[in-house]
Amino acid sequence: MTHVVTEACIRCKYTDCVDVCPVDAFREGPNFLVIDPGECIDCTLCIPECPVDAILPEDDLSEAQREYAVLNAELAKAWPSIVASHAPLPDADAWAGVGEKRQWLESGTPAAAGTPSSPSTHREDS
């Protein structure tokens, strides 16, 4: 098994989870973190650290969340390791409660991060 970072992390990236991981399993993208399934030892320490409950054991993923197991595994191969927490994205608090953020996931490298935009630009009903 492994643990998986899910949709709630997108555009928040508080990074509190990173400091407790004993095996440095987290990888960092422009606006999302993932867990490398080849490194995670399922210690569960990161779960309570995440303020938006984005981290789940793989076996507890809902059907809708299953794509995040694939995304974590794929993106972990491309993104660099992150081993210490840093300041969250500037508008993290505004994005923390936003649902259906999958469309905002940037799969490039951190250096290719796009310009942050406010959740108010996101039309939920479009």
Where on the chain is the footprint of ligand SF4 (CB under 6 A)? 3, 5, 9, 12-17, 20-21, 23, 25, 33, 35, 40-46, 49-50, 52, 54-55
| Nearer CB in complex with ligand SF4: 93/117 | 93
Task: Tell me the closest approach of the beta carbon of residue 43 to ligand SF4, in angstroms.
Answer: 3
Task: Tell me the closest approach of the beta carbon of residue 120 to ligand SF4, in angstroms.
Answer: 20
Task: Tell me the closest approach of the beta carbon of residue 126 to ligand SF4, in angstroms.
Answer: 25
Nearest residue to 53 via CA among 17, 27, 89: 17
| Nearer CB in complex with ligand SF4: 23/64 | 23
| Nearer CB in complex with ligand SF4: 9/69 | 9
Cα 83 to Cα 25, 47, 91, distances in angstroms: 8, 16, 22
Distance CA 63, CA 70 (A): 12
| Nearer CB in complex with ligand SF4: 41/78 | 41
Cα 72 to Cα 11, 81, 94, 118, distances in angstroms: 16, 13, 24, 25
DSSP string over 54-105 = -EEEGGG--TTTHHHHHHHHHHHHHSPB--S--PPPTTHHHHHT----GGG-
Task: Tell me the closest approach of the beta carbon of residue 49 to ligand SF4, in angstroms.
Answer: 6
